[in-house]
Amino acid sequence: MTRIHHHRPRYSEQLGQFQQSYHLEMVADQARTAPIFQALRQVLTPETRFCELGCGTGIFSIFAAAYARHVCAVEIDPVMARTAAANIAASPFADRIELIVADAGEVELADRADVVFCEMMSIWAIEEPQIPVFNGARQRLLRPGGLFLPQEIVNVVEVGRYNFRFGDIEVKAAIPLFSGISGPAIVTESRVAKRLVFSAPVSPDLGCEVELTALVAGRANCARLTSIVQMGPGVVFSGSDSLMPPTIVPLVEEIAVKPGDRLRFRAAARARSDLGEAVFQAEAIPD
């Protein structure tokens, strides 16, 4: 099993079943957990009804219970639900936390939440169900005027060159830039490709078109995708080894560029699809 598969849940049996080892990695990743703790501290009050969709180990629901009036922790994976139940029972806030073993896309609450938190995130929101889950939660779970966390995801793109070829062997595949993975040589400026703002329904169509200017001469064969997350008011997360690291994707065709050239970058992708099936291309814009 590669590390990429380690980071991808199994969806064939139930929605969002990650390996327990990946949950351990995520809990230990302070670059991931610290911004979430900070965002929760900023928005929760003693009167808040809080709901976490996909609570996993229960780490954030237990943290939220120290600040909120009531916490609903939703988890569909029976293995992780048992882990969360044990962690909740051992916490000093067990009386404030209601664990619900259910599909986050279908669960109903007796009382709507003031804050709904969901971290079903992946690079550019392509593979994970962040968008459909939030769209459904808006209708069923969040009170009018309530708050979603994260608040926004900003998808950013640069075009560059990556070594997909080794001698006579070429493997053109998407690859997350985990620690120890070499990065690309970037040849263009960085631009915002799409903003996903969760204060309103978000389209699952993640296709985009953006103009980029080449900064140096070279031959481009890839794009580097980054997601910048507004985790909460004033709290930003831009990826870590355990969650949404910047990711290299191959372009359909290689393109030669020189400084000042304008390129049209296009992406065709949808939420809850396979990143490997998304299409990324760049072409020169005639003068």
Cβ distance 113 to 71 under 8 Å? no
Instruction: Name beta bridge partners: 223.
Output: 159, 249
User: Per-residue pLDDT for 249 more than 80?
Assistant: yes
Is residue 260 over pLDDT 70? yes
* CA–CA gap between residue 235 and residue 123 (Å, rounded): 18
Give CA–CA dist 158/36, Å, rounded.
27
Residue 62 and residue 93 in contact, taking contact as beta carbons nearer than 8 Å: yes
Determine contact, residues 278/271, Cβ cutoff 8 Å: no
Whether this model's pTM surpasses 0.85: yes
Q: How far is the C-alpha of 33 from the C-alpha of 165, rounded, in Å?
A: 36
Question: How far apart (Å, rounded) are the C-alpha atoms in residues 57 and 81?
Answer: 7
> Phi first, then psi: what are they for 139, rounded to 5°?
-80, -35
Convert the pLDDT of each residue in 40-62 to its tens digit. 999 999 999 999 999 999 999 99
Domain with CATH 2.70.160.11 in the chain: 152-284
3-149 belongs to which homologous superfamily?
A: Vaccinia Virus protein VP39 (3.40.50.150)
Task: State the Cα–Cα distance between residues 89 and 151, nearest whole angstrom.
Answer: 30
Q: What is the pLDDT of residue 15?
A: 56
**From-to residues of CATH 3.40.50.150 in the chain:** 3-149
CATH class of 152-284: mainly beta
Angstrom distance (rounded) from CA 180 to CA 234:
30
